[in-house]
Amino acid sequence: MRSGNLLDHLPVAAPDERLETLLARGDVRIERIVSTGQASPPGFWYDQAEHEFVVLLAGAATLRFEADDRALALTPGSFVEIPAHCRHRVEATQGDPPTVWLAVFCP
């Protein structure tokens, strides 16, 4: 059995996001992602083969979806289901305190 606190051991002003796989079983993966002000590079869009369900646990972030050019502001407790191949990008993340995401990926 593994346990912990998703808000412990957060990096401060890290140059890159920190990804930690918490659980991987078959086709399902759960990750903790910690952002400290990162955003997607200009012109970059995620286009994932998996569905993603993400919950923002701390901080703040803005996602943008290519299909309708919609921006979605996330605050603690916000969640979004992103279907496979729904092109999206991270417009901004709060750096201090860090932004903490819980992401579930599945087919």
The structural domain count of the chain equals 1
Q: Whole-model pTM above 0.75? A: yes
The 10s digit of each residue's pLDDT in 65-90 is 999 999 999 999 999 999 999 999 99
Asked whether residue 8 is assigned to any structural domain, the reply reads no
**How far is residue 86 CA from its own chain's centroid?**
14
- CA atoms within 13 Å, Cβ hemisphere of 103: 18
Asked whether residue 76 is assigned to any structural domain, the reply reads yes
Asked whether residue 61 is assigned to any structural domain, the reply reads yes
Q: Is 24 helix (H, G, I), strand (E, B) or coil?
A: strand
For the chain, give the percent of residues with pLDDT over 70. 100
Cβ neighbours of 105 (radius 10 Å): 20
